[in-house]
Structure 1
Amino acid sequence: MIDTVIFDVDGTLVDSNYQHTLAWYRALRRSNITVPIWRIHRTIGMGGDKLITELAGADAEKAHGDDVRAAWDEEFEVLIDEIRPLPGTHELLMEVKHRGFRIVLASSGKAAHVERSLELIGARGLADAWTTSDDVSDSKPAPELVDTALQKVSRSSGIMVGDATWDVIAAAKLDVPTVALLTGGSSRAELRDAGAIAVFDSPQDLLDHLDITPLAYPSTQDAT
């Protein structure tokens, strides 16, 4: 009975994962913590409250966590103007909306960053709701963000569109299926192994194949 599409934002609708990765690398270096960039990239999509522990251990989080997150804010601001919409994003949102789905943009990013993404992809008039870091206390891979997104539209039945294994894992905890994209840098095999029901190259690729996915039409209405 799927009637709502929950779209992750960073890495799914806007091309931002590598800017996030570099900002975390530079922020960690400010506290004399060096983590290979490839390892940082594997954690993108996980919340910043958990990322430092994942990369450098609990002691690093305890000693430097707040400083690293503050440094990340500064480093990310230097890179934010480089972020652009991924090809096909606006058109995908328009078509999904046209077919009768409700749309929720699920982000645990800062409100200002989410607002900027809404403008970049022209989603303000298409999304029924969206989330920010103000809405959640426990980040992915915990399911709170997905649950909050559904609460924004009266706890309807949803399907997730995301780019990271963390999206798939978080949604699965609520029995919400995920269609995944390769745009975040995770491999097709990784996304499939995490539980994605389908994997496409990009928003444009998903749009081109919408009729062979559960996003063809809401389950509560007949296709026309």
Structure 2
Amino acid sequence: MADTAIVDVDGTLVDTNYHHALAWFRAFRRFDITKPVWEIHRAIGMGGDQIVAHLAGSQVERQLGDDLRAASGEQFAELIDEVRPFAGAHDLLADVRDRGFRIVLASSGKQHDIEHMLDLLDARGLADAWTTSSDVEATKPAPDLLEVALAKVDGAGAVMIGDSTWDCLAAGKLGIPTLAVRTGGFSVDELTDAGAAMVCANLVEMRDRLDETPLAAAD
């Protein structure tokens, strides 16, 4: 039985996917590489260690990977003050906690970014733990981030809440069911094909449907 909710942050709790897509577009352009923004968006949800090779190939990763990640971070820092939480984000976390679950916020971002998001969500009193990219060698779609998240609270089992196909794929590798929201810009078919057990339009709908999910009540 699940005793832990592992909750993705970017695109799930806070409206950042398109900010990240634009940051990566500008980072690539800094090195005279042009990747269509729609292609970049399809990769958002992967960690920075994965996305460069995925979008531009292994040679670009070898030559420019660290520089591109640094540039993307700089570009995102210029946009972070525009980021807002999704409606219902704080209340969903509070409801899940009230039902007896531990909560781990699973972010593949940097420490200063997750600290900012915690304050934006007023979630420091709700989350039992959180992750950053420094906790793992490989981020989503590798399952490492979820393994660390569960270990941080000594959880026996988990349910994933996420917005991207990469969340679903990572969770599926550990046999963890994913409850997905469409706020990251992925379609119902894309999310279900990637393994989502349920897809909601947004967090408000998910909160209303918690009794239909493994997060109805902790064992």
User: What TM-score results when the alignment is normalised by the length of structure 2?
Assistant: 0.98
* 1:187 has 2:168 as partner: no
Unaligned runs of 5+ in 2: none
Q: Separation in 1 of the partners of 2:142 and 2:10?
A: 17
Structure 1 residue aligned with 2:158: 158
Moved >4 Å (runs of 4+): none
**Contact 2:158–2:176, Cα closer than 8 Å, also in 1:** yes
Q: CA deviation at 1:185?
A: 0.5
Q: Separation in 2 of the partners of 1:161 and 1:155?
A: 16
The one-letter code sitting in structure 2 at the alignment partner of 1:56 is: A
Q: Separation in 2 of the partners of 1:101 and 1:155?
A: 10
Q: CA deviation at 1:69?
A: 1.0
Q: Separation in 2 of the partners of 1:200 and 1:216?
A: 16
Structure 1 residues 21-170: aligned runs within 5 Å: 21-170=21-170
**Contact 2:26–2:72, Cα closer than 8 Å, also in 1:** yes
The one-letter code sitting in structure 2 at the alignment partner of 1:18 is: Y
Q: CA deviation at 1:20?
A: 0.2
**Contact 2:4–2:155, Cα closer than 8 Å, also in 1:** no
Q: Secondary structure at the match of 1:159?
A: strand
What's the CA shift string for 1:129-150, capped at 9, x where partnerless? 1111221111111000000000
Q: Separation in 1 of the partners of 2:77 and 2:110?
A: 12
Structure 2 residue aligned with 1:3: 3
Equivalent pairs: percent with the same residue? 58
Q: Secondary structure at the match of 1:148?
A: helix
Q: Secondary structure at the match of 2:46?
A: coil
What's the CA shift string for 1:7-65, capped at 9, x where partnerless? 00000000000000000000000011101100000000011111111111111111211
What's the CA shift string for 1:146-176, capped at 9, x where partnerless? 0000001113210000000000000111111
What's the CA shift string for 1:101-153, capped at 9, x where partnerless? 11111111101100110111111001111111221111111000000000011
Q: Separation in 1 of the partners of 2:99 and 2:20?
A: 33
The one-letter code sitting in structure 1 at the alignment partner of 2:80 is: I
Q: Separation in 1 of the partners of 2:175 and 2:58?
A: 30
**Contact 2:3–2:155, Cα closer than 8 Å, also in 1:** no
What's the CA shift string for 1:69-121, capped at 9, x where partnerless? 11111111110001000000001011111111111111111011001101111
The one-letter code sitting in structure 2 at the alignment partner of 1:157 is: G
Q: CA deviation at 1:3?
A: 1.1
Q: Secondary structure at the match of 1:124?
A: coil
Q: Separation in 2 of the partners of 1:35 and 1:8?
A: 25
The one-letter code sitting in structure 1 at the alignment partner of 2:214 is: P
Moved more, 191-200 or 61-70: 61-70
Structure 1 residues 205-216: aligned runs within 5 Å: 205-216=205-216
Q: Separation in 1 of the partners of 2:97 and 2:24?
A: 34
RMSD: 0.8
